[in-house]
Amino acid sequence: MNAGSSTSTTGQAPHRADNARRDLSNANVREDLAEKGRCGLVHLPTGRTCLLPLRHHGPCEFHRPQEAEDVAKGS
Ligand SMILES: [Zn+2]
């Protein structure tokens, strides 16, 4: 006789923001570099930019802004 006591779904909504790259939540990505197929992640404290291929494995490798500009220009 417990017909009225069904606790249907508990109110725990799954996280749905996981489609985004969570590793980017605290940084900027240069879209001009992303279009070049580069990671393009900017390390904000230093202003350096990762020039490794998009979705590369391992940690980012940050280069000076001048190097990033060269890549962005397609040279
Ligand atoms: Zn990177």
Instruction: Give distance in angstroms: CA of 4 to centre of ligand 1.
Output: 54
Cα distance between residue 60 and residue 28, in whole Å: 13
Edge-first strand listing for the sheet containing 62-63: 28-29, 41-43, 48-50, 62-63
Q: What pLDDT band is residue 12 in, cutting at 50, 70 and 90?
A: low
Instruction: Give distance in angstroms: CA of 32 to centre of ligand 1.
Output: 14
Taking the model in full, what pTM does it have? 0.63
pLDDT for position 71 = 94
Instruction: Give distance in angstroms: CA of 60 to centre of ligand 1.
Output: 4
Return the residue matching tokens 């998009």. Answer: 54
Cα first-last separation, the chain: 76
The one-letter amino acid at 29: V
Instruction: Give distance in angstroms: CA of 54 to centre of ligand 1.
Output: 7
Q: What is the pLDDT of residues 16-68, one digit of tens each?
A: 545 555 555 555 899 999 999 999 999 988 999 999 999 999 999 999 999 99
CA proximity to 64, closest of 52, 51, 42, 48: 48
Q: What pLDDT band is residue 74 in, cutting at 50, 70 and 90?
A: confident
